[in-house]
Structure 1
Amino acid sequence: MANKPSLITKGRYELKFRGTECLNCGHLLDISDKYCPNCSQANSTKKLVLKDFWDEFFSSLINYDSKLLKTLYALLLKPGTITKDYINGRRVSYTNPFRFLLSLAFLYLLMFSYNNNFSSLDKAAEKYSKNTTTNPISFDLNSGTIKADSTEIKEQVTKGLQKIDSMGLSDVPATKQIQYLDSLGVFNGEYAQNEANKDSIMLADPKTYFESIRNGSGINGYASKMEFFSNMIRHDSLNSFDEAKTKYGVDPALSNKMTYNASDSLLRVIKEPGTFINATLSKLPFVIFFFLPLFAVFIWMVYIRKKYTYTDHLIFSFHNQSLLFILLILSLIIDAIFDTASVWIFLLIFSFYLYKAMRKFYGQGRIKTILKYLFLNTMFTLLALFVVVILFTGSVFTY
């Protein structure tokens, strides 16, 4: 009886404010009930005042800090112990592993984005774009004549046009003229590989050019249409798919719209690579919650003879991933203070920690743990690479 906690607490939880019926759900209460066992509302009939809000706010804050400190202590100094406690029901002392990991992932990515130099990639891309905007061959669309920016190309084109005139083909569309010049070998040499020639053909008569690739299928057809839309966006101020339908007679098919959107996204990625990387990395916290459940399947398969459920393995992976983010955050702080690169040191620490966590949680010998450790880390690396490739590829076409 001496260890029984006192029923009298401060503020609106004092015994004199206790009721015998829950004001929220009507459940019958005992005067010793601090909270309703049915709906969890506080058993208090006292009118709220501003001080009550402040008291509850700081009480909740201190309570969360206590959980946070215990969680950090267990994660850092007792590998595998926190997961054992959590799945055995001792959960009130620790923070929720799913919410804790999400918070750490957001915090790490905010710090990582603040400290990186990805913005410099945008400036480099802009400078490169300015240096590569001139085309060796272009068209005067008003007069329908072919122009060139290089003396060597001008001589090549002039000779080719003379051949065309001598054959009575000067009235054919400029696109056909260029194709004929190419068949005569006018563009042989270093300019045969220059994509600007093809760009110029497209710009001479976009509608006719798209007509020639309209029925293309497969990867080659998709690539040809992407190349067409990319050139029209860059050189003909194409702003939308609706505009492409009007100007070039593009079919309103879903595949064409998807190709246009992919081309537009890819050009923006090339123009703003730093911004693209930051935007993609911001999605990683959400990707983790799809990746870890998949990885937990492999943990479950490796330890299938153990008594643990799939959810237990998932909680184990969440706790260890949380520790990894904690170490990466510490690495960022140290790098910012001392202007160094300490990430590899913390990754080595995590590698040793993970081995100890597996030994402690699953209780197997060194040889078995090492073999399973190597296998799971290999699968983790392969899955991580696969997820990153899918993430960046998907981001390129939806940016």
Structure 2
Amino acid sequence: MEEQQTICQNCESPMEGSFSYCPNCGQKTVEDLTFGVLFNNTISNYFSYDARFLKSFVPLVFKPGFIARQFVNGKRLKYLHPAQYYLFVSVVFFFLFSISTRSGQENVDKMLQKGMESGRAFAADSLSAVKVVDSLALAKSMEILENPNLNIPKEDLEVLDSLKRSRTVNASLSDIEGNSLNTRKLDSLIAAGATKKEKLAVFGVTDSTGVFARTMATQGLKLYESSGQGILAAFYDTIPISMFFLIPIFALILKLLYYRRSRFAHSMVFSFYFFTFLFIVLSLILLVNFVVDIPDWIDWLVALSTIFYLLISLKRFYGQGYFITIIKLWILSFTYLMFVLPFSFGVMVLATFLLY
């Protein structure tokens, strides 16, 4: 008796009715689309959360440099791809990081709002405290100033001293007014519902202003109107994006240090796996602190232990002795911490301001 054939719902290829999977495309022949199936497919397709994730976890954490060397040597189906592994772990880490820093972001927002409100109130109070100099004293003082060869009586010296003090006060008030004039005018325009063009004019923006200067003024206006609310959250949002540039730079430094021992692609594999391990450690620190408040010195000690992990990883992956590896680790750390990270921080601050 001939076995009944069915049609695959995905590729529409004929197959035997007893098949559980299509021999052409690999899809299950019978699979109801439940929430569990949808969730599992999402995780599997976008994060490759399968057996390779667990198989890669143990050697990644407990055998520094081993999994990167295995992947470079050709065992690429046995372990999870380094970029996919990094993507999954980084999503988990930044999710936990956003939760743990939420209260801090709210506190910063409150401080910024309070600081801006206090600054505006101080400027307004200072400008209203203008002292009027007595006209008679002013006249006498001006006469003394115009005749410097006269013998100046004691009472006239007191008048002159009063004039100097009044000039000092007025000069300081002029400085305050010069610094706060734009903000006072801007506050008035905002309260009156002025157009964006009118408010930007306070920043000196005209029709001939360049694109960059106009953009900076526009972002400054937005920051002023919102009292800096959400600026820290916007900065945190730039960190995941910046990592896609920091990892290749890290790999490039490794390539220069080991230019005879590996290709740039090999250093990229090593970098992806190392930063994956780094995010795993940081995620565990955050998770534990959600349950138990661990002392900060323990958190820092665990975080700094990743340096020793990096040392062993470099030795195993590139195959050089500990002495040479320590020297190159010092060069790597010094270059990355003293030049790459500060420059990246500045770029992140600028990007935060421009994208705020």
TM-score range normalised by the length of the shorter chain:
0.7 to 0.9
Please, which runs of 5 or more residues in structure 2 have no aligned partner? 143-163
> Is 1:92–2:73 an aligned residue pair?
no
Q: Which residue of 2 aligns with 1:304?
A: 259
> Is 1:389–2:342 an aligned residue pair?
no
Asked whether the 8 Å contact 2:255–2:264 carries over to 1, the reply is yes
* Amino acid across the alignment from 1:398: L
Name whichever of 325-334 and 336-345 sits farther off: 336-345
Q: Which residue of 2 aligns with 1:122?
A: 109
> Is 1:375–2:338 an aligned residue pair?
no
* Amino acid across the alignment from 1:41: C
* Amino acid across the alignment from 2:131: K
Q: Which residue of 2 aligns with 1:328?
A: 282
Name whichever of 373-382 and 17-26 sits farther off: 17-26
Q: Return the offset for 1:52.
A: 10
Q: Which residue of 1 aligns with 2:132?
A: 155
Q: Judging changes above 3 Å, is the alpha-carbon distance between structure 1 residues 110 and 253 closer, same or farther for their aligned structure 2 residues?
A: farther
Q: Deviations over 1:203-251 (max 9, x none)?
A: xxxxxxxxxxxxxxxxxxxxxxxxx4x5543343275542347899952
* Amino acid across the alignment from 2:83: F
Q: Return the offset for 1:361.
A: 0.5
Q: Judging changes above 3 Å, is the alpha-carbon distance between structure 1 residues 25 and 136 closer, same or farther for their aligned structure 2 residues?
A: closer
Asked whether the 8 Å contact 2:127–2:173 carries over to 1, the reply is no
2:26 aligned residue (26, 31, 42):
42
Rounded to whole Å, the distance in 2 between the matches of 1:73 and 1:376 is: 26
Structure number having the greater helix percentage: 2
Rounded to whole Å, the distance in 1 between the matches of 2:91 and 2:174 is: 45
Rounded to whole Å, the distance in 2 between the matches of 1:351 and 1:332 is: 19
Q: Which residue of 2 aligns with 1:82?
A: 67
Q: Return the offset for 1:82.
A: 0.8
Rounded to whole Å, the distance in 2 between the matches of 1:259 and 1:59 is: 44
> Over aligned residues, Cα RMSD in angstroms?
4.2
Size of the alignment, in residue pairs? 317
Rounded to whole Å, the distance in 1 between the matches of 2:292 and 2:36 is: 40
Asked whether the 8 Å contact 2:108–2:232 carries over to 1, the reply is no
2:206 counterpart SS class? coil
Rounded to whole Å, the distance in 1 between the matches of 2:179 and 2:259 is: 59
Rounded to whole Å, the distance in 1 between the matches of 2:38 and 2:214 is: 55
Rounded to whole Å, the distance in 1 between the matches of 2:303 and 2:201 is: 55
Q: Return the offset for 1:78.
A: 0.8
Q: Which residue of 2 aligns with 1:173?
A: none
Name whichever of 191-200 and 50-59 sits farther off: 50-59
Please, which runs of 5 or more residues in structure 1 have no aligned partner? 1-15, 139-146, 167-183, 203-227
Q: Return the offset for 1:66.
A: 1.8
Asked whether the 8 Å contact 2:86–2:276 carries over to 1, the reply is yes
Alignment of 1:233-272 (within 5 A): 233-237=186-190, 240-244=195-199, 251-255=206-210, 257-267=214-224, 271-272=227-228
Q: Return the offset for 1:98.
A: 1.5
Asked whether the 8 Å contact 1:296–1:314 carries over to 2, the reply is yes
* Amino acid across the alignment from 2:224: L
Q: Judging changes above 3 Å, is the alpha-carbon distance between structure 1 residues 121 and 61 closer, same or farther for their aligned structure 2 residues?
A: closer
Q: Judging changes above 3 Å, is the alpha-carbon distance between structure 1 residues 20 and 351 closer, same or farther for their aligned structure 2 residues?
A: same
* Amino acid across the alignment from 2:292: F
Q: Deviations over 1:290-328 (max 9, x none)?
A: 12112211111110111x221110110111011111111
1:95 counterpart SS class? coil
Rounded to whole Å, the distance in 2 between the matches of 1:245 and 1:334 is: 48
Rounded to whole Å, the distance in 1 between the matches of 2:49 and 2:124 is: 68
* Amino acid across the alignment from 2:318: Y
Q: Percent identity?
A: 20
